[in-house]
Chains A and B, each alone.
Chain A
Amino acid sequence: MSGARLREIALGVAGTIAFLAAWELAARLGPGSALFPPPSGAVAEALARLPLATVADHVAVSLGRITAGFAAGAALGVAIAVAAGWYRTFGNFVRPVVELLRPIPPLAWIPMAIVWFGLGEASKVFVIFLGAFFPVLTNAYRGITGVDPTLVRAAQTMDVTGVALLWRVMLPAALPDIAVGLRVGWGLSFGVLVAAELIAADRGMGFMIMNARQTAEVGVIIFGILLIGLATLATDWVLGLAIRRSVGRWHPV
């Protein structure tokens, strides 16, 4: 590892430690530690109040929801984008409807989702689905319609037309844009998941935090916030890695 890289990491670590130390100090010297616990206190309180199994359960439920919603949203987003890009007429029908619905924040759909699907899993998965659907659709559409015409012409000179052209040339060419859409969509889905769980759930990481508010267990709340932040980072990192290893081999990511 080069000297410059080591320096980068060292500074990063130093900065984090300095931040945590400042937090610790401010908490101990500051207002009542009940409302503003130091990082050490927060984690300790959380682990004392919540058995690890419960936390694991909440995390699992949350991840299950977001995976289901995201998978559905991404799959449908790509499918519709490809169809809309390939069949002009379908695209002309679908685009206005999409453009009208897109500016509505996914969270705004929650009350109607509850009306349609009740208070169970389906309503939450639906809203998460919306969170992923629009970014993936937008980016995939841009990818499919933005394919370099030279590539299409080259394929035609090699007798590749019709569906084969779509499958072997246009879809791969659209992959970098689709990858961006997936990444953005995942981030949005996560935010939507948390919100949905705060508003209307009885399990999950968001619920864990909201529940702790009733009893003012600030430690648990902070622990929950940090946990969600970590989960977001970790999943985004994994997604980024997968993208780098696939699309990243032939396209700058």
Chain B
Amino acid sequence: MHARTAPAEARPKIAVRAVTKRYGAAVLNGLDLEVAENEFVTLVGRSGCGKTTLLNIVAGLVEATSGDVLVDGAAVTGPGRGKGVVFQAQALFPWLTAIRNIEFGARSRGLDAAACRAEAEQLLALVGLAGYGDRYPAQLSGGMQQRVAIARALAQDPQILLMDEPFGALDEITRIEMQDELLRVWSTRRKTVLFVTHSITEALVLSDRIVVMGGGGIVAEYPLDAPRPRSRADARLAALHERIWEHLR
């Protein structure tokens, strides 16, 4: 194990050390990854490359077969406790209105009712849904539901934000809008983000660093320092797109 006493600022927010996960065969094999504070890291790869598994292990929803995961220096032993998650779909509680769903997230912080309501309203406005608070999830479009899901995760005031293909169930146009929305929200409430997607374009638009996965491990990493918002038609991004695509073929 690692007995380093590095100063807190240099310590990575998320530290994955030699994580292996077996479901019979090894899905992840001795994988190492570090995510710095407020960094936006995206995991891309083919279906079955283990990106969702890795995310779930960091979230504490799945236990690694061996290896450690540390968030803010503390070992991950289970879900919750500052690890906010945004799932792909159907994660909003259907019996609660949008605002109450967000309040649910705020409650986990131990705030009183009034403080929860205030926080929820603020976040609702932040994701651009002011006035839609009293709608039930069934009455919201897919894009709106995901905005509420993001607001709910933020309501926990999480240490890290884990997003598992959050826009995967949306149509192309809504997807592009949501990517811009996410960047806007993230610029206001900056968090450390670990994002999973199978869309290379999405990764290029959103991330500080793209981690390409395959064969149970990391195949390549591409830091991006282009300022956001990024044009999807940018030539440099297109070139990077090609290189990443080569890895995945």
Contact = CB atoms under 8 A, between A and B. Distances in A.
> Are A and B direct contacts in the complex by CB distance below 8 Å?
yes
A156 B79 contact: yes
B93 A169 contact: yes
Given A159-B108, A251-B94, A153 B87 contact: yes
Given A148-B90, A172-B93, A158 B80 contact: yes
A241 interface: no
B76 interface: no
Given A158-B80, A158-B105, A250 B91 contact: no
A148 B90 CA distance: 9
Contacts of A168: 104
A245 interface: no
Contacts of B104: 158, 168
Given A150-B90, A250-B136, A250-B138, A157 B83 contact: yes
Contacts of A157: 59, 61, 79-80, 83-85, 153
Interface residues of B, number: 27
Interface in A151-175: 151, 153-154, 156-161, 168-169, 172-173, 175
B108 A151 contact: no
A5 interface: no
A15 B138 CA distance: 38
Contacts of A151: 90-91, 93
Contacts of B87: 150, 153-154
Interface in A115-159: 148, 150-151, 153-154, 156-159
Contacts of A161: 80
Contact of B108 (A148, A158, A172): A158
Interface in B127-157: 136-138, 152-153, 156
Given A150-B87, A250-B137, A250-B138, A156 B93 contact: no
A250 B90 contact: no
A184 B90 CA distance: 28
A156 B91 CA distance: 12
Nearest to A154: B91
Interface in B87-119: 87, 89-95, 104-105, 107-108
Contacts of A172: 93, 95
Contacts of A88: none
A7 interface: no
B17 interface: no
B136 A154 contact: no
Contacts of B83: 157
Nearest to A251: B94
Contacts of B93: 151, 154, 169, 172-173
B81 interface: yes
Query: Could you say which of B89, B93, B108 has the most chain A C-beta atoms within 10 Å of its C-beta?
Result: B93
Given A157-B80, A158-B105, A251 B91 contact: no
A51 B178 CA distance: 70
Task: Please indicate which of the listed interface residues A151, A154, A156, A172 has the most CB atoms of chain B within 10 Å of its own CB.
Answer: A154
Interface in B44-100: 59, 61, 78-81, 83-85, 87, 89-95
Contact of A250 (B89, B94, B153): B94
A151 B96 CA distance: 12
Contacts of B90: 148, 150-151
Interface of B: 59, 61, 78-81, 83-85, 87, 89-95, 104-105, 107-108, 136-138, 152-153, 156
- Give the 7 A-B CB pairs with smallest separation, nearest first: A159-B80, A156-B79, A250-B136, A154-B91, A157-B85, A158-B108, A172-B95
Given A153-B79, A251-B138, 7 more contacts: A150-B90, A150-B91, A157-B83, A158-B107, A168-B104, A250-B95, A250-B137
27 contacts: A150-B90, A150-B91, A151-B93, A153-B87, A153-B91, A154-B85, A156-B79, A157-B59, A157-B83, A157-B85, A158-B105, A158-B152, A158-B156, A159-B80, A160-B80, A161-B80, A168-B104, A169-B93, A172-B95, A173-B93, A173-B95, A175-B95, A250-B95, A250-B136, A251-B94, A251-B138, A252-B138
